[in-house]
Amino acid sequence: MEDHNEREWARIPQFYYNYYVFQYATGYSAAIALSQKILREGEPAVKDYLTFLSGGCSKSPIDLLKDAGVDMTDPAPVEAALMLFGDLLDEMEMLIGE
């Protein structure tokens, strides 16, 4: 009898179809960058964010994000998101340890 577990991953298209998993990672990174920009800069960043949202499909997502001050062609937004996740994990571990 054949072991079907070797190909179990293939039944879940999110693992390989249209870079689905990576879309989540880049989406989270962009959202974190936008929210941190708003927290840092306030109203001007809110205006940029609303412009980004109102852009709809007028440009590529990369260009719309650049207009809002987030350059996803640069590793900085992903690196910042990873740092935030690390900080949150450290905080959770500290709270669990109490």
Identity of the residue numbered 81: A
Per-residue pLDDT band for 9 (boundaries 50, 70, 90) equals: confident
Say which DSSP state 58 is in.
S
- What are the tens digits of pLDDT across the range 37-93? 999 999 999 999 999 999 999 999 999 999 999 999 999 999 999 999 999 999 999
- What are the tens digits of pLDDT across the range 26-43? 999 999 999 999 999 999
Residue 1 has pLDDT above 60, yes or no: no
Q: What is the pLDDT of residue 58?
A: 96
Which residue would you say has higher pLDDT here, 8 or 48? Answer: 48
Dihedral angle sign, alpha carbons of residues 75, 65, 86, 15? negative
Identity of the residue numbered 5: N
Q: What is the pLDDT of residue 2?
A: 66
Question: Quick one: 69 exposed, middle or buried, by C-beta within 10 A (0-12, 13-18, 19+)?
Answer: middle
Q: What is the pLDDT of residue 40?
A: 96
Identity of the residue numbered 20: Y
The answer to whether the beta carbons of residues 30 and 72 sit under 8 Å apart is yes
